[in-house]
Amino acid sequence: MTAPLRLIALDGEDLAIMSAHLQDSLVTVGDMTYLPRSKRFAAVAARFDWIAEAEGKKERCETGFHFERVLKVTRTGFSQQNPAQRLMLLSVTFKETDGPAGQVTLTFSGGAAIRLDVECLEAQVQDLGRRWTCTACPNHDLDEVQEKQAS
């Protein structure tokens, strides 16, 4: 059994590692929340376990992640009125604006995104335990993406 994932990100390099582990996670809109009094954005996702896949297993794991010191949340490309909608997380990036403050961007497939304006980068991800086998491995056809960009 794969060891539970537990990561902390305090800089861009840490966040790149976290992003790689969260790539292709399925996130339900209703499983994301912003708590303005706590300055926290949190979500629960069905994370595709890329380490297990390298060992020949196709598994997803219930995983929580959150960002601290969040001042503002902006979303685009999806509606909060549809809490059952599932989004596929493609990447998580950080752009420093007025150090150490900056913007965290969660980019989802289909053009959806969430931008978090943060006082500084402080994030955590942790597997919550429930793990299950899935039938397919996420696939990114780079030829298809390049063809769409060229047209």
Domains of the chain: which residue ranges? Answer: 6-150
d(CA 61, CA 43): 14
Cis ω before 36 (30° cut-off from 0):
no
- Give the pLDDT mean for 122-142: 86
Single pTM value for the model: 0.89
CA distances from 16 to 42, 80, 114 (A): 18, 27, 17
Average pLDDT over all residues of the chain: 91
3-state helix, strand, coil in the chain (%, to 5): 20, 50, 30
Which is more confident, 92 or 50?
A: 92
| Overall size of the chain counted in residues | 151
CA angle 56, 110, 8 (to 5 degrees): 55
How many CA within 13 A on the CB side of residue 101? 8
> Region 20-27: what's the mean pLDDT?
96
With a cut of 90, say whether residue 108 has pLDDT above it: yes
